[in-house]
Structure 1
Amino acid sequence: MKNFIKSAAFKALAAVALFLVGIMIYAASTGGVATIPATITGAIVTPLQSLGAGISNGFHNFIGIFTDSNTLKKENNKLQDEINHLRKNQVELDELRRMNEYYRQYLELKELNPDYKFADCRIIAVDTNNKYGNFTINVGMLSGVKVGQPVISPEGLVGKVYEVGMNYANVRTILDPATQVPAYVSRADSGGVTGGSLSLAKDGKMRLNYLPRNNGVAPGDYVITSGKGEIYPRQLQIGTVTEVISESDGLTMYAIIEPFADIRNLTNVFVITNFEGKSAE
């Protein structure tokens, strides 16, 4: 008997008995034996469920990033379209304002000079090889434009036409030495002929030549057309005297003139196709 108690079989039976007693006690405290397998299963499954839930949430968040990105991209594109539309409207409004001002000035010129006939036009090209700002306009013979006709802006004389096509014309500005205009200083009633030079043209200026000595001309005086030669109407504004200088011969003087018209930044001009007192062609 003593040998059986000490044997391995007895020890195994005792362990099984203790295990069964433990199960019975646990079952009694929890209400059923089935909770043990459930507990074991839960211990195994729960971490897996947590891992699955984490992966699922991460996937949904990952997809959400792309969904939000696409939404933001669509909203951004919509806003950009609205900005582009507003910009276009602003450009059109600016152009309408500019044209409104342009035609207002045109009507003022007509009112001040009822004998003038105009061809209103737009500058379509500037001769980049020319140092005097010569340019091309979008009207020609079909609009009554001819060689030699004066070109003006609302501010003053700009130049004259030197070449004409059917629907275009080339204009030589008053900064060009080839454009010579009979003119005089309104306050001093002292006259001469305008001319240009390369050095002055760089600064947007020109000359009034052949002024007599003691002419009374001073900086700030206005220079206007005299009407001599019947090519340019009388009293077209040309510019302001900035300096009076003696010629090297000591017999005559010349004045430096800053034109009223901003020659190099013009966009629209007028050709005077006819006026009272114009020479017969």
Structure 2
Amino acid sequence: MPPFFMNKRLIVLLVSIILLVALIGFSLRERENISWPEQFVKDIVGFGQNIASKPAGYAQGLIDNVQDLTNTYTENQKLKARLEEMALLETQVTDLSRDNEELRSLNGIEENLRDFNVVNATVIARNPDQWQESIIIDKGQVNGIKTDMAVQTASGMIGRVKDTSQFTSTVELLSARNANNRVSALIQSEESNVFGLVEGYDLEREELMVKKIPFDQEVQEGSKVITSGLGGVFPRDLVIGEVTEVTSDEYGLTQTAYVKPASSLYDLEHVMVIERVAAGQDEIEEDAQGEEEEE
């Protein structure tokens, strides 16, 4: 006999390899049910994994709890510091508000561009074909809603009342493609305030465009944009968004600021209609006409 076949170890190894390859091929093929040896092995392995996973999970839970306690302590320290700052700011705001009221009283100033009343409303309809154009809310003339009233969410301004009925109103969003949809805006700067007009919406960037900014005014990225209150319609200090980029026009005479809206214009459910308390442009014009007629 050849010496190869006389080596029992080699024969056993060869047979073992053949059986192993056969078993692998058998286990890899698609079957509805696995064999009982595979079931037995899987049950044994699963039982062992279940036993091993419980202490490991318990230990991991202890580690996570310790980390959570550490993070909670750190966050608690930060919150305490913030609360102290908030208490100081509240005291300062109260003092400034009191001083402001006293000064306004001494000067006979009764109205403020920042004064407004709020009417809460809910979005009840929105045309899919005009998703970026308008929404319909469940408040109308019986609730004191009038055209050109500002509309905002808790995050910031989203548009104005376009038209009203007795019980509902249509709100034109800031993203609407309407050349007459303008808002007098103020860009807050460290040195001085910069004024411009919200005119247009860039669909690709999903950002508002504040135009008519003088070329010699420096506008920094990250600056907050609010309503100026000078348009005679909207109150002052309604948040519009934040500047992301500033570009010059082709002639270099004015600048355009791209502004990320403070409030999402896509997902809207609950809104607030803002009624300006200070005299609007219409009231000012009526007063002026009345004085001319008296003269």
Asked if 1 retains the 8 angstrom alpha-carbon contact of 2:115 and 2:235, the reply is: no
The answer to whether the 8 Å contact 1:183/1:226 transfers is yes
Aligned to 1:258: 260
Go from structure 1 to structure 2 and tell me whether the alpha carbon gap of 1:202 and 1:275 turns closer, same or farther (over 3 Å shift): farther
Q: Are 1:245 and 1:254, in contact at CA under 8 Å, matched by a contact in 2?
A: yes
Aligned mate of 2:229, from 214, 227, 230: 227
Counterparts in 2 of 1:78-93, with a 5 A limit? none
1:28-67 to structure 2, matched below 5 A, reads none
8 Å CA contact 1:183, 1:194 repeated in 2 = yes
The CA distance in 2 between the partners of 1:132 and 1:196, in whole Å, is: 12
3-state SS in 2 of match to 1:223: strand
Partner of 2:77: none
Quote the offset at 1:202 in angstroms. Answer: 4.7
* Distance change (3 Å), C-alpha of 1:152 and 1:248: same
1:159-190 per-position Cα deviation (integer Å, ceiling 9, x unaligned): 00111111100001111243210012111411
- Paired AA for residue 213 in structure 1: F
Q: Which residues of structure 2 form unaligned runs of 5+?
A: 1-96, 98-111, 284-295
Amino acid at match of 1:117: N
Structure 2 residue aligned with 1:72: none
Report the number of matched residues.
168
Matched, 1:120 2:124: no
Pairwise CA distance, 1:126 = 1.3
CA drift at 1:271: 0.7
* Percent of aligned pairs with the same amino acid: 27
Aligned ranges 1:31-180 → 2 under 5 Å: 115-130=115-130, 132-178=132-178, 179-180=181-182
Aligned mates of 1:115, 1:251 — CA distance in 2: 35
The alpha carbon displacement at 1:205 in A equals: 1.1
Amino acid aligned to 1:232? F
Match of 1:215?
A: 217
Say if 1:211 and 1:252, in contact at 8 Å, map to a contact too: yes
Task: Answer with 1 or 2: which has the greater Rg.
Answer: 1
Q: Deviations over 1:36-60 (max 9, x none)?
A: xxxxxxxxxxxxxxxxxxxxxxxxx
Q: Alpha-carbon deviation of 1:131?
A: 5.2
Residues 158 and 131 of structure 1: is their aligned pair in 2 closer, same or farther, counting only changes over 3 Å? Answer: same
For structure 1, list consecutive stretches of 5 or more residues without a partner in the other structure: 1-111
Superposed displacement of residue 204, structure 1: 2.8
Equivalent residue in structure 2 for 1:196, among 197, 200, 208: 200
Shift of residue 115 of structure 1? Answer: 3.7
> TM-score scaled to structure 1, two decimals?
0.56
